[in-house]
Amino acid sequence: MNPSSAHLARPALSRRTFLRGVGVTLSLPFLEAMTPIFAKATEAAATPRRFVAIQTTQGIMPHLFFPETGGRDYQLSPYLQQLEALRNDFTVFSGVSHPGVDGGHANERSFLTAAPHPGGAGFRNTVSLDQIIAEKMGNQTRIPSLALRVGGGGESSMSYTRAGVMIPGERSVAALYQQLFIQGSAQQIEARVNDLKSGRSLLDSVRARATRLGNTIGAADRARLDQYLTSIREFEQQLHQAEAWEHKPKPAVKMPEPKDITETAFLPAKLRAMFDLIRLALETDSTRVVTVFVEPLGILSAIDGVQHETHSLTHHGNRPEMIEELQKIEIAQFQMFREFLEKMRGAGESGVPLLDHTAVLYGTCIGNANGHTNKNWPLLLAGGGFKHGQHLAFDKNQNQPIANLYVSLLQRLGLEADKFASSTGTMRGLEMAVR
Amino acid sequence: MIQRALLAGCVMFSIAHGAPPAPFFETHCTECHDAETKKGGLDLTSLPQDFANAENFARWVKVHDRIRAGEMPPAKKTPPPKDERDKLLASLSRELTTADTLRQRERGRVALRRLNRSEYENTMRDLFSMPGLAVKELLPEDGRFDGFEKVSDALELSAVQIRKYLEAADYVLDRAMVHQDRPMVYKRRIRRVGPLNQMGDSLMPINDMKVDLVRMKEISTMRLPEKALVFEAMDSLGIITGAQQSFHGEVGEFSAAHPGYYRVRTSVWSFDYQPGEIFPAQRMQSFALMANDRLLARFDAPSLKAREHEVVVWLNAAERLYLNPDSLWPNHFNPRGYTGPCVAVDWVDVEGPLNETWPPASHRRLFGDLPIAKLPIEKRKTKQELAEANPPSRPVLRVPPPPTRHSEAVPNHRDSDEFKKNQPVWTAASPLPKEDAGWLLADFLPRAFRRPVPPEELAEYVKIARERLAAGDYFESAMRAAYRVALCSPDFLFLNEPPASADPKDPMTLDQYAIAARLSYLLWDSMPDDELTGLAAKRNLSGKEIDAQVERMLSDPRSDRFVADFLDQWLDLRKIDATSPDVGLYPEFHTDLRSAMLAESRAFFREMLDHDLGAAQVIDSAFVMINQRLAEHYGIPGVTGSAIRRVAVPAGCPRGGFLTQASVLKVTANGTTTSPVTRGVWVVDRVLDRRQQPPPPDIAAVDPDVRGTTTIREQLDKHRSNQTCAACHAKFDPPGFALENFDVIGSWRTRYRHSGDTGDFPAHADFPGAPMKMNFESFRHGLPVDATGTTSDGQVFQDIREFKRILLTEEETVARNLVSRLVLYATGAPVSFADRAQVERILAASRGSKYGLRTIIHQLTRSPLLLRK
3-class SS letters over B358-372: CCCHHHHHHHCCCCE
Q: Name the residue among A341, A334, A394 with its Cα closest to residue A364.
A: A334
CB-CB under 8 Å, A102 with B694: yes
A434 touches chain B (CB under 8 A): no
| pLDDT score of B425 | 73
Q: What pLDDT is attached to residue B245?
A: 56
Q: How far is CA B716 from the centre of its chain?
A: 33
pLDDT at B853 over 80: yes
What is the C-alpha separation between A90 and A427, in angstroms, rounded? 14
List the single residue in B140, B290, B707 with the smallest CB-CB distance to A318. B707
Integer Cα distance of B484 and B493 in angstroms: 12
Residue B842: φ, ψ to 5° = -60, -40
* Residues of chain B neighbouring A397 (CB-CB closer than 8 A): 698
Extract the runs of DSSP E, i.e. beta strands, from B340-478: 340-352, 372-374, 426-428
Q: Which of residues 52-111 of A touch B (CB under 8 A)?
A: 99-100, 102-103, 105
Q: Does B380 touch chain A (CB under 8 A)?
A: no
Is the pLDDT at B646 greater than 90? The verdict is yes
CB nearest to B489's CB, from A206, A235, A318? A206
User: What residues of chain B lie within 8 A of the CB of A110, using their CB?
Assistant: none
Interface contact flag, A318 B706, Cβ < 8 Å: yes
- Yes or no, beta carbons of A218 and B107 under 8 Å apart: yes
pTM for the model: 0.89
Instruction: Select the residue from A166, A202, A291 to test the B interface by mutation, using most B Cβ atoms within 10 A.
Output: A202
List the single residue in B with minimal CA-CA distance to A232: B159
Average pLDDT estimate for B414-428: 57
B417: left (phi over 0), alpha (psi -120 to 50) or beta: alpha
**Average pLDDT estimate for B678-706:** 84
Test A231 with B581 for CB contact under 8 angstroms: no
For B828-857, give one letter per residue: b (16+ CB within 10 A) or e: bbbbbbbbbebbeebbebbeebebbbbbbb
Which one has a higher pLDDT value, B692 or B118?
B118
- Among A26, A216, A317, whose Cβ lies nearest the Cβ of B704? A317
Amino acid at A365: C
Q: How confident is the model at residue B332 (pLDDT cuts 50, 70, 90)?
A: low
Residues B186 and B257 sit within 8 Å (Cβ to Cβ): yes
User: Given an 8 Å threshold on Cβ–Cβ distance, is B671 in contact with A312?
Assistant: yes
In this structure, the dihedral spanned by the alpha carbons of residues B682, B688, B690 and B692, taken in order and rounded to 10 degrees, is: -20
Other Cβ atoms within 10 Å of B47 Cβ, number: 17
Write the pLDDT tens digit of every residue in B161-186. 999 999 999 999 999 998 888 888 89
CB contact under 8 A, A318 and B167: no
Q: Which helix (H) or strand (E) holds B162?
A: helix B159-176
Residue type, A290: V
Q: For the stretch A79-111, what's the b/e string if a residue is b when 16 or more beta carbons lie within 10 angstroms of its beta carbon?
A: bbebbeebbebbbbbbbbbbbbbbbbbbbbbbb
H-run or E-run covering B820: helix B811-827
Query: Terminus-to-terminus CA distance in chain A, angstroms?
Result: 45
Q: What does the pLDDT look like over B211-223, one tens digit per residue?
A: 888 888 888 788 8
CA dihedral B291, B297, B298, B304 (to 10 degrees): -90
Q: Which residues on B lie below 8 Å from A373 (Cβ)?
A: 701
Q: Are strands A400-401 and A96-97 parallel, antiparallel or unpaired?
A: parallel
Cα–Cα dist B326/B289, whole Å:
10
The angle formed by the CA atoms of residues B472, B473 and B479, to the nearest 5 degrees, is: 140
Q: Which amino acid is at A112?
A: L
Are B490 and A216 in contact (CB < 8 Å)?
no
Q: How far is A337 from chain B (nearest CA, A)?
A: 26
Using an 8 Å CB-CB cutoff, list chain B residues near A206: 485, 488-490
**Residues of B in Cβ contact (< 8 Å) with A317:** 672-673, 704-707, 754-755
Q: Which residue of B has its CA nearest to A28?
A: B159
3-state secondary structure of B351: strand
Question: What is the mean predicted confidence (pLDDT) over B267-277?
Answer: 92
Residues of chain B with Cβ-Cβ distance to A369 below 8 Å are none
Distance CA A176, CA A154 (A): 18
Cα separation, B718 vs B97, in Å, equals 45
pLDDT at B34 over 70: yes
A24 band by pLDDT with thresholds 50, 70 and 90? very low
B291-331 pLDDT per residue, tens:
988 999 999 999 999 999 999 999 998 899 999 999 998 87
> In terms of pLDDT, which residue wins out, B420 or A227?
A227
Q: Which of A5, A120, A371 sits opposite B293 (nearest CB)?
A: A5
User: CB distance from B140 to chain A under 8 Å?
Assistant: yes
A262 touches B at CB < 8 Å: no
How far is A280 from B414, CA to CA, in rounded Å? 44
Q: How many CB pairs under 8 A join A and B?
A: 249
Pick B245's closest partner by Cβ from A7, A231, A318: A7
Q: How close A418 comes to chain B (CA, Å)?
A: 25
Residues 6+ apart with CB under 8 A from A41: A140, A141, A285
Split at pLDDT 50, 70, 90, the class of B411 is very low
Degrees to nearest 5, angle at CA B858 with B852 and B864? 125
For residue B399, the chain A residue with the least C-alpha distance is A14
User: Which H or E run contains B174?
Assistant: helix B159-176
Q: pLDDT tens, B243-263?
A: 555 688 999 989 998 889 999
Nearest residue on chain B to A219, judged by CA atoms?
B107
Nearest CB neighbour to A19, from listed B167, B318, B320: B167
Distance CA B619, CA B186 (A): 50
Alpha-carbon dihedral of residues B300, B301, B303, B307, nearest 10 degrees? 90
User: How far is it, in rounded angstroms, from Cα B492 to Cα B119?
Assistant: 11
Residues from chain B contacting residue A219 (CB–CB below 8 Å): 107
Using an 8 Å CB-CB cutoff, list chain A residues near B159: 26-28, 161, 231-232, 234-235, 238
Out of A6, A165, A199, closest to residue B158 by CB: A165
> Which residue of A lies nearest to B478 if distances are taken between CA atoms?
A198
Judged by DSSP in three states, A4 sits in: coil
A13 close to B160: Cβ distance less than 8 angstroms:
no
Of the partner residues B143, B290, B390, the one whose CB lies closest to the CB of residue A4 = B290
Q: What is the CA radius of gyration of chain B?
A: 32
Q: A76-80, B37-41, B155-159 — which is least confidently predicted?
A: B37-41
Q: Is there a contact between B235 and B208 (Cβ–Cβ < 8 Å)?
A: yes
Nearest Cα residue to A343 out of A282, A403, A297: A282
> Beta strand pairing status for B210-211 and B186-190?
unpaired
Q: Which residues of A touch B578 (CB under 8 A)?
A: 105
Residues B274/B339, Cβ–Cβ less than 8 Å: yes
Q: What is the chain B residue with the closest CA to A238? A: B159
The amino acid present at A186, given as its one-letter code, is: A
Show the CA angle centred on residue B773, arms to residues B767 and B777, nearest 5°: 60
Residues of chain A in contact with residue B755, where contact means CB-CB under 8 angstroms, are 317, 319, 321-322
pLDDT of residue B324: 94
H-helix segments, A147-252: 173-181, 186-214, 219-246
Of residues B333 and B159, more confidently modeled:
B159
Question: Between these two residues, B405 and A205, which has the higher pLDDT value?
Answer: A205
Contact (CB<8Å) B293/A217 = no
Give B 191-220 residues with CB within 8 A of chain A: none
- Give me the pLDDT at residue A218, please: 87
- Summarised one tens digit per residue, pLDDT across range B526-553 is 999 999 999 999 999 999 999 999 999 9
Report the C-alpha gap between A248 and A339 in whole angstroms.
32
Render B7-59 in DSSP notation, one character per residue. HHHT-GGGGSTT---HHHHHHHTTTTSSTTT-GGG--TTS----TTSHHHHHH
First to last CA, chain B: 50
Query: A208 in contact with B at a CB cutoff of 8 Å?
Result: yes
Specify the 3-state DSSP secondary structure of B435. helix
**ipTM here:** 0.87
- A293 near B CB under 8 A: no
DSSP-derived letter for residue B214 is H
Predicted local distance difference test score (pLDDT) of residue B693: 79
Taking the C-alpha atoms of residue B740 and residue B615, their distance in angstroms, rounded to an integer, is 24
A140 with A44: CB under 8 angstroms? yes
